[in-house]
Structure 1
């Protein structure tokens, strides 16, 4: 039909889309994976083998993604029940109830590496992204460079990702994700054979247009450059703007977009799927925009981010912008000392701060006078004046 697919080969998508097969491939290629038990190896002994993996455990659907169906187990007494819950969710979300269990790394970071391959032997990494700030195993903030990595660790984890891509003779853009332990150890998590939501931060620090590279590769071109040509400068942070109420357990919100004024300024990028006059409904994912900030360094990026979040105006539907401002003001975030359980360990960040009594009284008064009965009273013409009719002095 003369149509060329922009992306990896079907075989690469199929292999890396199955977490169990992907894990086995990576392990056989000599790259690090966490200790685990895989149901496909012998379904009859899966539960027994899972018990032999040291606690704590993380149960995952083989076909999973987005944190769905994942379960952390710290007590073997509940393992069987959690396996069945995970299986049920995997079947419901992905049509596949197969599972695997791996050792859960306590307070880990989630670090991923962007890769590009031309399918003709050319592969480079485009540095890493820190994705540790999450809720319900789903990312909220992504940044690059990772504040956790020394130059030596950065080279090691990025070259591991590139090595995995080379083992596949990978074609197009992809992301290799790792769990990173407090001691500097890291293990393969999964590979996403597509462009990620958070790819703009990589573009901001490298100047490489990843979408343009995808098109070139799909057209049959080679990369035309090697790893030495890929350089980075500055710091970039992406914030996922969600229509949700963080104080109510990150519950999705809906409503009309009455007013929308995105932030602007040097180093500010706004990628959005909504417009003023539109509506946020429950039919779609609650992420409605991405705010990407580029700074000279991490402190500069955080400073710019706070102003941009403050300047973001979206009326009619509650969003998480105020929550994000509280998050980036937290001392642990400022110092870069975060992990995937950071928000669970600090629930006060999600909680709405109490309003001062004076502010609350003003808001209540404003709300009261905007109601129809109060407007009718305020707009009513006194009987004496109404009796005058059209008479003028």
Structure 2
């Protein structure tokens, strides 16, 4: 009986293996048929909407076969190897360029397919040049379609997925630069495509910032990437000057019914979309300086000081309109309470201690306002309460010890 059971088990396993092989053979045959149908349409001189719909239908079926395979195993299977050997993704992308009237539709569906594929794969597909190259070419082509919301949305999702893959496998960074080398050393398409969304609100903006932070984290271990970002991209100036643009959109008057009000709470500022958007960008700047390579952090801090603090925030605190001055002072206090990266906090404190606006010391102006028997006086006191609680030696010296020395 034991021998019979063993033979039965062996036969069952053998049949299961045969069935699995048969299933793979069938799926591969189906894939080949879909690709054959696609190639036949590619050869047509004139393409209409019916052809596009037919091609996309076959292409999506082919992608589904590939996705099912890569989701179920961690080694390359026959479907993936067929995609690679036939350069299916690259061939499809090149053909799509020959149909400019359907460009947006074709880009959208290719992005969705890559999004679906990357989200299900158990192995690193991007190590295959026949996968990564057409993906980068597709992303590069999307630069001309950034005004289309659907393409933007899915492009950012795919960019985020690629950045996650690069974080898991940093070797892919060199692959990125090698592939884009023909476009010049200043082209790092993954990074460059994310920059325009650095100050975008909503889900798309947050996904773009998350992806950028992944690259910032990598830059801390890769000086070449850091140097490229500083020397060949406009990331730092766009991030800093964007703060200026967002600050100009903040409410110039803060509506408060309480005469004793002196500080912006999170509940209050979270109800202002403009202030939420600014705070998101400020927090992002804080995070970049905290995790990026010191070279990037240094350049960003310089741009924030000379491109936002001195020319924008300083004059707003020296305005003549009381409501606007109150708002600007409350904003400065909020920023100081939000920043937790020492290097960024230091440059804000340098601004308060050293900046001169219209030949007047900013610190002296703020100190004078403490004596005002108005809401501005309360808000100014709140600002100094925040400054004192920072336990900064320079602040304590300028506010307290310097005067004690004079008394002695």
Q: TM-score range by the shorter chain?
A: under 0.3
Higher relative contact order (CA closer than 8 Å, sequence separation 6+): 1
Larger Cα-atom Rg: 2
Please, what TM-score do these two structures have when normalized by structure 2? 0.22
The structure that is helix-richer by fraction is 2
